[in-house]
Every structure is written in C-alpha cells, then in structure tokens.
Amino acid sequence: MARRTQRGFTLVEIMVVVVIIAIITSIAVSSFSGSADDSRRARARADISSLNDAVQRFYQLSFTYAGVGTAAQVATREGISLTDDYTFRIDVDADGQGYWVVATPSATGTLADDGALATGDAGERCYYPGDDNPSDLGSCPQSF
C-alpha cells in the first residue's frame, strides 16, 4: 500500500498570510480615512461660494449688504441646500458695506474643532485651522 501524504498549509504559512493582509488593510484604511472629512469640507466650501454669490446679487440690487438676512434665509430664498456638517452665518458690517460668510463645523460631527471657513466681500477665502470661532476674520492664517 502506498502511503498518503497530507496536504495543507502549516500554521506559520497561515500566520504570514494573515500578517500580510493586516498590513495591506492598515495601509488602505489610513489612505482613505480622511477622504470623508475632505468631501465634507469641499461641500462646505461650495456652499460658502453659493452664499457669497447670493449676497453679491443682493448688493447689486440694493447697494448695501444690510438686510441680506441670515444664511438660512438666503439659502431658502436662493434655493441653496446647505450641508448639515457645518453651521453657516452671514456677518454684515455696521455700515452695510462689508460682510463675511462663515462656516463653522457642527459640534457633533467628525469635523468638530477642525476650523472655520470664511469668505468676505473683498474676495478673501480663509481657513482657520483648529479655530471653530475665529475672533478676527480679517486675518487669514491659511487660504482655501
């Protein structure tokens, strides 16, 4: 009678394959982990641009930014659907001749403490890394 040889993988071979799969998985996860936040931030930048355009149209009709309304009112009036990941506001200067559109990350989302985004009447596009409520909107630490 012929002797049967057993076939299969040894424990060491299986462990090597598991380690290789774990390394590949960790690389893939680290590569894609920030992409969801990046897309949320990009959506907020697009919403700011839409609000900015709407505020500029309001100025062209009335020659003042005063009375433009809140970000929610402008969005409703213009048919803009704002992302829920950010809170938007429009700050108009006391004389009605300047403004800022500010997007602050929602406190409950993954972007909390990420930093505010803002754009103003002079065309500034500011990102305030780590500062969700910047006190000096005029100084842009970083552009977006």
State in words which class domain 35-143 has. alpha beta
Rounded to whole angstroms, the Cα distance separating 8 from 66 reads: 78
Across residues 23-43, what is the average pLDDT? 85
Statement: residue 3 has pLDDT above 90: no
Residue found by looking up tokens 């108009």 in the block: 92
Mean pLDDT taken over the chain: 89
**Comparison of pLDDT for 135 and 85, the residue scoring more:** 85
**C-alpha 113: how far from chain center:** 12
pTM of the model: 0.75
Statement: residue 46 has pLDDT above 80: yes
Across residues 109-114, what is the average pLDDT? 78
pLDDT, residue 63, reads: 95
Rounded to whole angstroms, the Cα distance separating 120 from 100 reads: 4
